[in-house]
Amino acid sequence: MIEVRELTKSYGPTLAVDRVSFDAKAGEVVGFIGPNGAGKTTTMRILTCYLTADAGNATVAGYDVLENPIDVRKNVGYLPESAPLYADMGVVEYLKFMAEVRDIPKSQRKERINKVIDICGLEGVIQKDIGELSKGYRQRVGLAQSLIHDPPILILDEPTSGLDPTQTIEIRNLIIEMGKEKLVLFSTHILPEVAATCSRILMINQGKIVANGTLEDLIEQVRSEEKIHLTIRGTEEEITPQLRELDGVTGVSHVKTDNGVVSYEITTSQEGYDASSKLFHAAQQNRWDLVELHHETIDLENIFLHFTTGISSDTPSNSIIIEEKDASEEE
């Protein structure tokens, strides 16, 4: 449904999109993520024919964005980053106008307008002019216009930006629902949103696609070694050499010693839980007083940092906190 090949776009000296290629098909929800200025909006504007590329090509719903822009737009619902809403138009008046622009047959307009008012939770503001609406409601109206012609492809630039938590959840559910039969390509900065809604992640950095795959694919690409955080009461001199001896341990890095408690970051070639249990048993055998042991799990935040900055987040998200206990009592 979307085929993009070597798409390139510069604004003067700024190379905004650099030989971007990807495919996406019906039934996919593709999360387009990347830092500010990475090229998401520029790519989306090219795919929706609001901007022309300098090089490369793209087809959307089988139509070339350069040669058949009208057919492309018929098949795409687009929510721009800042929706071009008309402040002095009423909400319903605007939706009527968009239904007309989108060539919806007169007999179906009312039904479609009511449908998108319902989907986007606009009932409470239908009497108002767009200029009177809060940011979140303006965003909802933008979303409503993108859905009005029931297009097979949705391209949404930060659809949940500015929405309250309830509406954010509703829009996410809507994206999942739409993704069952349509193709949804949407950008966001909210990483849990991607994990919750997307069947595939497309990551862009400095104009280049740096990752493309399911969350599982990306975790696999990032996972080269496991990291375990270990805190033991004792002395570095006693503990460090013994940790280094352990089977599967590839690195022992002393983080800090605080009040007789030593913290390490251990890298291991073994799968997280296997390595954790080895360390746990080593502590028991050596009668070390184990304060904390947790392995670092790879989440989307780690992946994002890995592909966009080359560093990994150090936030543990899976911890086993063990109560302070003297290992000698175990026997």
Residues that bind ligand ATP (CB under 6 A): 11, 14, 16, 34, 36-42, 81
Strands 153-157 and 183-187, sheet pairing? parallel
Residues in 205-234 at the binding interface with Mg ion, rule: CB under 5 A: none
Closer CB to ligand ATP, 162 or 316, in the complex:
162
Q: What is the DSSP letter of 298?
A: P
Min. distance of Cβ 37 from ligand ATP in angstroms? 4
Residue closest to Mg ion, measured at CB: 41
Determine if 145 is a binding residue for Mg ion (CB under 5 A). no
Whole-number Å distance between alpha carbons of 317 and 23 = 33
CB 28 within 8 A of CB 200: yes
Q: Select from 2, 16, 39, 41 the one that contacts Mg ion (CB under 5 A).
A: 41
Closer CB to ligand ATP, 64 or 81, in the complex:
81
Closer CB to ligand ATP, 10 or 297, in the complex:
10
Whole-number Å distance between alpha carbons of 56 and 6 = 5
Whole-number Å distance between alpha carbons of 45 and 36 = 16
Candidates 25-33, 38-46, 101-109, 170-178; binding stretch for Mg ion (CB under 5 A): 38-46
Min. distance of Cβ 40 from Mg ion in angstroms? 5
CB 33 within 8 A of CB 187: yes
DSSP 94-124: HHHHHHHHTT--HHHHHHHHHHHHHHTT-GG
Closer CB to ligand ATP, 160 or 276, in the complex:
160
- Number of residues lying near Mg ion (CB under 5 A): 3
- Summarize as ranges the residues that interact with Mg ion (CB under 5 A): 40-41, 81
